[in-house]
A and B are shown apart, each in its own frame.
Chain A
Amino acid sequence: MEAYEIISAVRSGKRPTAALFIERLFDSFIELYGDRSFADDPAIVGGIALLGEMPVTVIAIEKGSSVDERVKRNFGSAKPEGYKKALRLMKQAEKFGRPILTIIDTPGAYSGMEAEERGQGYAISNNLLNMISLKTPIISLFIGEGGSGGALALAVSDEVWILEGAVYSVISPEGAASILWKDSSKADEAANYLKLTADELDKLKVVDKIIKESGPFYSRLKKDISKKFTSLLTLDGEELIDKRYARFRKY
């Protein structure tokens, strides 16, 4: 498939959203709300889940499945309070030695006035700074759209995994085409150059694993996550953050 067809598919609303992954991968889930400062951001769902016997902190960007829910979830565009909630839950996970799974599906961080007023840039930068030194294992799973800084704010992780039909990009192809060529209709061309598909990201070593979407893939994914967490949990905090530093230092 051409890169732009893949993008169109992740935007179509026909792919499963984060909620289904939480349901299929975990045996129970207790959702926790709010950033303790301003509000709860429905674009980010967070809480504690059980992976078999293992308690895991889950933080997911949720686009919503129905029209009403999509509006409520702001189409998966998080605001500063969402990123702050995510960081609060990550710090909580670190305190209690729980591994973290982040599930990412976002067109990007919300670019409205109130997001700017409440420090969208700072909220993201503070997550990057804290995630890189978080002394608990983190796996990030890209399931659909991986939009720029708004995705990276939850993906400074030990392992970055991507579904074969998902994407991760610094900018939307429309944005790239309109900035570079003043012509957003050249988005399909830009999509090819941006190298945003799972295969291209794998070649660039931006992702560590591509998840095939065929067969009993939730149960396979569940096993893989469980195995990876078990192995990462054998590292002590310092080893973990040294490895994570090296992972991102290579770019």
Chain B
Amino acid sequence: MFLNKTMFLRPKNKLEDDASPQTDRIITCPSCRKKMPVKEISDALKVCDNCGYHFEMHARERIEKLFDADSFEEIMADLTSKNILSFPDYDKKLSESMTRSNENESVIVGTARVNGRKCAVFSMEYYFMMGSMGAVTGEKITSLFEHATEHDLPVVGFCLSGGARIQEGVISLMQMAKVSGAVEKHDRKGLFYLSVLLNPTTGGVTASFATQGDIILAEPNALIGFAGPRVIEQTMRRSLPKGFQRAEFLKDKGFVDKIVDRRDLRDTISSLLSIHSKEE
């Protein structure tokens, strides 16, 4: 990629609450219709305590809530996308996405600790063009794997994506090969990559690093697939059965190792990192 490769540290962002800054606001669970204060959901990892529905989470919030407090050291935070193909309205879309997500790109990367154990981590952002994969997305994840390979760190990756960044055309497609190369080098050095698939994980991200983990976890009911459901319906000229492409279906078909409730995710990550640790 044609960017300077300085890695930046930046102070942690204050968490923006996507639902509302007013914590006394009441929201309704889309699954069981229970009404509850936003704060209650936020404090509980954004999982409905009544039915277990997993609400969307910001990339940064996920790292801050699942990893040791203040342990996240972000790298490459200041990289931003350029409109390389002069695609109409892309600049506007980028600046809107930055405002909406409070992030510079669709992924944040860095190092963090779980119960004191250090790992490299990337986390994709729902509110930045639905985690779409642009050149900067690919660059950050590639650099993270290279960093992890150099420093013998395991990688924990939270994958979430609507697919390719159409506005970057074939350059977006090339990111799939670029990231795969870095994953392969990390793999060849015998290092551990834990991939966690979130709702939704589709397209080029599914067809590259999301499914290249040594172990692949998924959040309950996450939509996971290569083609999106609407595309498949068009191909088949029929509607899809209930549960098609959901995490549970993928597990039944043999493509996901384990479905982990978000409330158990920290413990699962911690155990897996400990088992694969090269320190002791």
CB distance from B243 to the nearest CB of A (A): 12
Report yes or no: A121 in contact with B210, Cβ–Cβ below 8 A.
yes
Binding stretch for chain A, among B63-71, B168-176, B271-279: B168-176
B135 CB–A CB distance under 8 Å:
yes
Which of B85, B177, B210 gathers the greatest number of chain A CB atoms within 10 Å? B177
B154 CB–A CB distance under 8 Å:
no
Report yes or no: A125 in contact with B180, Cβ–Cβ below 8 A.
yes
Consensus secondary structure, chain B interface: helix
- C-alpha gap A23/B226 in the complex (Å): 33
Residues of A within 8 Å of B173, CB to CB, are 148-149, 152, 169-170
Residues of B within 8 Å of A201, CB to CB, are 170
Q: A111-B232, A122-B211, A152-B173 given as contacts; is B253 within 8 A of A117 (CB)? A: yes
Report yes or no: A251 in contact with B169, Cβ–Cβ below 8 A.
no
- On chain A, which size bracket covers the interface? 35 or more
B55 CB–A CB distance under 8 Å:
no
Q: A82-127: which residues lie under 8 A (CB-CB) from chain B?
A: 109-113, 115-122, 124-126
Residues of B within 8 Å of A194, CB to CB, are 85, 166, 169-170
Report yes or no: A129 in contact with B180, Cβ–Cβ below 8 A.
yes
Chain A: CB-nearest residue to B202: A121
Report yes or no: B1 in contact with A170, Cβ–Cβ below 8 A.
no
A195 CB–B CB distance under 8 Å:
yes
- C-alpha gap A249/B175 in the complex (Å): 9
B138 CB–A CB distance under 8 Å:
yes
A250 CB–B CB distance under 8 Å:
yes
CB distance from A25 to the nearest CB of B (A): 25
> In the complex, which of the residues B1, B167, B209 contacts A251, with contact meaning CB atoms closer than 8 Å?
B1
> In the complex, which of the residues A111, A193, A248 contacts B226, with contact meaning CB atoms closer than 8 Å?
A111
CB distance from B161 to the nearest CB of A (A): 11
Residues of A within 8 Å of B231, CB to CB, are 111
Consensus secondary structure, chain A interface: helix
> In the complex, which of the residues B167, B171, B226, B240 contacts A124, with contact meaning CB atoms closer than 8 Å?
B226
- C-alpha gap A196/B254 in the complex (Å): 36
B251 CB–A CB distance under 8 Å:
no
Q: A128-B208, A196-B170 given as contacts; is B176 within 8 A of A152 (CB)? A: yes
CB distance from B149 to the nearest CB of A (A): 12
- C-alpha gap A117/B243 in the complex (Å): 12
Residues of A within 8 Å of B166, CB to CB, are 170-171, 176, 179-180, 194
- C-alpha gap A179/B165 in the complex (Å): 11
Report yes or no: B226 in contact with A251, Cβ–Cβ below 8 A.
no
A232 CB–B CB distance under 8 Å:
no
Residues of A within 8 Å of B176, CB to CB, are 125, 128, 149, 152
Residues of B within 8 Å of A132, CB to CB, are 177, 180-181, 184
Residues of A within 8 A of B (CB): 109-113, 115-122, 124-126, 128-129, 132-133, 148-149, 152-153, 156, 168-171, 176, 179-180, 193-196, 201, 204, 206, 244-245, 248-251
22 chain-A/chain-B pairs, Cβ below 8 angstroms: A109-B226, A111-B227, A111-B235, A115-B226, A115-B227, A119-B253, A120-B226, A121-B206, A121-B207, A124-B208, A125-B176, A125-B207, A125-B209, A133-B188, A171-B164, A171-B166, A193-B86, A194-B85, A201-B170, A206-B171, A249-B181, A251-B1
Residues of B within 8 A of A (CB): 1, 85-88, 135, 138, 142, 164, 166-178, 180-181, 183-185, 187-188, 203-204, 206-212, 224-227, 231-232, 235-236, 240, 244-245, 253-255
